[in-house]
Amino acid sequence: QKEVEQNSGPLSVPEGAIASLNCTYSDRGSQSFFWYRQYSGKSPELIMFIYSNGDKEDGRFTAQLNKASQYVSLLIRDSQPSDSATYLCAGDTGGFKTIFGAGTRLFVKA
């Protein structure tokens, strides 16, 4: 069974701090990885994707991928209360099937 594992949290950080979210995956064949944000009662929305080893930055978000360690992370700089949500890590298993982790709940305290 191909899996994506995340710490369910909750992760609590003060406003303005860096939030660090981590994810591991079991399928070495996975090529692309995604971070989705899901607010309570809402659908997931894509915030970052990454498919090359290293870092990818987009505004306050940085995704990191290490294929040798099968590890993906998301850093959120200058965290805001509006960032409080569940963050879902997902891996692409072959171009069309996406496997999601259970998500990490993030709370940003004002």
Instruction: Report the interface residues with other proteins, using CB under 8 A.
Output: 4, 8, 31-32, 42-46, 49, 51, 88, 90, 95-103
> What strands, in cross-sheet order, belong to the sheet with 61-66?
4-6, 19-25, 71-76, 61-66, 54-58
Q: How far is the CB of 66 from other proteins (least distance, A)?
A: 19
Q: Smallest distance, Å, CB 47 to other proteins?
A: 10
Nearer to other proteins, 51 or 66 (CB): 51
Closer CB to other proteins, 45 or 78, in the complex: 45
Query: 4 or 76: whose CB is closer to other proteins?
Result: 4
Nearest to 77 by CA among 8, 10, 21, 35: 21
User: At closest approach, how far in Å is the CB of 29 from other proteins?
Assistant: 15
Report the residue number, 19 or 103, with the smaller CB distance to other proteins. 103
CB 103 within 8 A of CB 8: yes
Gap between the Cα atoms of 73 and 66, Å rounded: 9
Closest approach, Cβ 18 to other proteins, in A, equals: 23
Query: Would you tell me how many other CB atoms lie within 10 Å of the CB of residue 91?
Result: 25
State how far the Cα of 109 lies from the Cα of 13, in Å rounded to an integer.
Answer: 6
